[in-house]
């Protein structure tokens, strides 16, 4: 006869509830808040695990060579990306709980943890890499993994060399079938020439330089002078044109989900950034300008990471190239039909 499932066993509570061992207890010293400190870190790590579960599943779907914009898979991708953003929002709020611990409460046990630090959270660094943070964009390249065990460094390096969500996004955007091409054979009448002219008309005198950036990003034209480091870019010109097209014409049925996908990635970046800033301010409040237990410069390192570690910044940048809805070029009737619901 099958054994009846029991809540305690199903959730492995024996393991989870017996996994808190405050250092202060071992030393017979009083540090009431160390339990909170351990549990909050464990809760974060569990949520990081769930985030990996979601990101991995999204990557599996996006790796499929023919992910159809109008398919159930795309809905699943958007749904899970939105879930990731919601979890991250909760992780930001959790800082509130930790902030009920005062700097003096923390000092009761802080020295006992050295040199351990959240800096060694390999799940966090692996998550950044899986989403698309490149080694070249890392703050503290020379030491961001220096405090980690070999086996954890390998995990992060593997994620950095694999197909990140950002790379998969690039491939998906590049194969988007409906975005108008930039084919010069279409001459001056091409959609993108028309759009470029309209964008130029929308620019303020002091923004005129935006046009060369436009040419660089959407047409890979550099005019001899390169303002962006193309080596560092993850999205190709073709992918950027597709993403801009999605943003501009997102009201059409076929583009609604693709737009939500892009929007969810921006939301993830914003929530990650909010977490970094909340964590950094909490650190400042807790230890002032002292170095971290992980040995970094503390707040200064965290500020650098917060400024540099935006993962989907190339998508956010595309918002500089939008024009007013009422000035959008009209689409060819054939394309307009293809972007709508197909009636039999
Ligand atoms: C009293 C509370 C905390 C303090 C004072 C603190 C302090 C710091 C400091 C100073 C750093 C920079 C590295 C170092 O030198 O140690 C750091 C990094 C980090 N901490 Fe915390 N932390 C606290 C709580 C947390 C919590 C609850 C988490 C949740 C997992 C966390 C996750 C991280 C992560 C992921 C990093 C690496 C960030 C990056 O490399 O961009 N920390 N922390």
Select from 18, 93, 92, 91 the least CA-distant residue to 48: 91
How much of the chain is helix, strand and coil, in % rounded to 5?
A: 65, 0, 35
Nearest alpha carbon, ligand 1 atom 42: 118
Question: Would you tell me how many other CB atoms lie within 10 Å of the CB of residue 177?
Answer: 9
Q: Are 119 and 68 in contact (CB under 8 A)?
A: no
Does the beta carbon of 182 sit less than 6 angstroms from any atom of ligand 1? no
What are the tens digits of pLDDT across the range 245-289? 999 999 999 999 999 999 999 999 999 999 999 999 999 999 888
Choosing from 279, 285, 286, 287 the residue with most ligand 1 atoms within 8 A of its CB, the one to mutate for a pocket test is 279
What's the 15 CA to ligand 1 centre distance in angstroms? Answer: 25
What are the tens digits of pLDDT across the range 164-201? 999 999 999 998 887 888 765 544 458 999 999 999 99
Quote the CA–CA distance of 93 and 254 in Å, as a whole number.
35
Nearest-atom number in ligand 1 for the CA of 296 is 15
Residue 16 clears pLDDT 60, i.e. is over it? yes
Task: Kindly calculate the radius of gyration of the chain based on its CA atoms and give it in whole angstroms.
Answer: 24
Out of 220-224, 261-265, 304-308, 337-341, which region has the weakest mean confidence (pLDDT)? 220-224
Task: For the full predicted model, state whether its pTM sits above 0.85.
Answer: yes
Does the beta carbon of 98 sit less than 6 angstroms from any atom of ligand 1? yes
Does the beta carbon of 109 sit less than 6 angstroms from any atom of ligand 1? no
What pLDDT shows up at residue 292?
78
Distance separating the N- and C-terminal Cα atoms of the chain? 54
Q: Would you call 114 exposed, middle or buried from its count of C-beta atoms within 10 A (0-12, 13-18, 19+)?
A: exposed
Does the beta carbon of 126 sit less than 6 angstroms from any atom of ligand 1? no
Does the beta carbon of 129 sit less than 6 angstroms from any atom of ligand 1? no
Nearest alpha carbon, ligand 1 atom 34: 118
Q: Would you call 198 exposed, middle or buried from its count of C-beta atoms within 10 A (0-12, 13-18, 19+)?
A: middle
Does the beta carbon of 44 sit less than 6 angstroms from any atom of ligand 1? yes
Does the beta carbon of 295 sit less than 6 angstroms from any atom of ligand 1? yes
What's the 294 CA to ligand 1 centre distance in angstroms? Answer: 8
Does the beta carbon of 283 sit less than 6 angstroms from any atom of ligand 1? yes
What pLDDT shows up at residue 187?
46
Nearest-atom number in ligand 1 for the CA of 106 is 1
């Amino acid at each position: 006869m099958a054994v009846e499932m029991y809540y305690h066993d199903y959730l492995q509570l024996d393991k989870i509830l017996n996994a808190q061992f405050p250092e202060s207890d071992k030393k017979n010293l009083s540090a009431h808040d160390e339990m909170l400190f351990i549990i909050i870190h464990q809760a974060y790590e569990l949520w990081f695990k769930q985030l990996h579960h979601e990101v991995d599943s999204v990557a599996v779907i996006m790796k499929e060579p023919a992910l159809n914009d109008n398919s159930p898979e795309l809905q699943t991708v958007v749904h899970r990306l939105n879930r990731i953003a919601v979890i991250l929002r909760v992780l930001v709020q959790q800082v509130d709980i930790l902030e009920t611990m005062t700097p003096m409460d923390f000092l009761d046990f802080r020295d006992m943890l050295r040199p351990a630090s959240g800096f060694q959270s390999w799940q966090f660094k692996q998550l950044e890499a899986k989403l698309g943070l490149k080694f070249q964009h890392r703050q503290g390249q020379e030491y961001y993994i220096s405090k980690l065990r070999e086996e954890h460094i390998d995990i992060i390096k593997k994620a950095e060399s694999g197909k990140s969500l950002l790379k998969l996004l690039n491939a998906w955007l590049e194969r988007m079938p409906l975005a108008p091409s930039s084919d010069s054979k279409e001459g001056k009448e091409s959609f993108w020439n028309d759009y470029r002219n309209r964008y130029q008309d929308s620019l303020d005198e002091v923004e005129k330089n935006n046009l060369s950036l436009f040419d660089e990003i959407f047409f890979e034209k550099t005019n001899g002078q390169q303002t962006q480091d193309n080596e560092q870019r993850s999205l190709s010109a073709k992918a950027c044109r597709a993403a801009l097209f999605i943003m501009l014409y997102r009201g059409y049925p076929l583009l609604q989900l693709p737009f939500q996908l892009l929007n969810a990635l921006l939301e993830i970046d914003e929530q990650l950034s909010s977490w970094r800033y909340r964590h950094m301010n909490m650190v400042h409040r807790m230890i002032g300008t002292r170095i971290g237990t992980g040995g970094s410069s503390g707040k200064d390192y965290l500020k650098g990471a917060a400024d540099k570690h935006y993962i989907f910044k190339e998508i956010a940048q595309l918002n500089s190239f939008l024009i007013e809805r009422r000035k959008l070029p009209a689409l060819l009737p054939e394309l307009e039909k293809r972007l709508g619901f197909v009636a039999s």
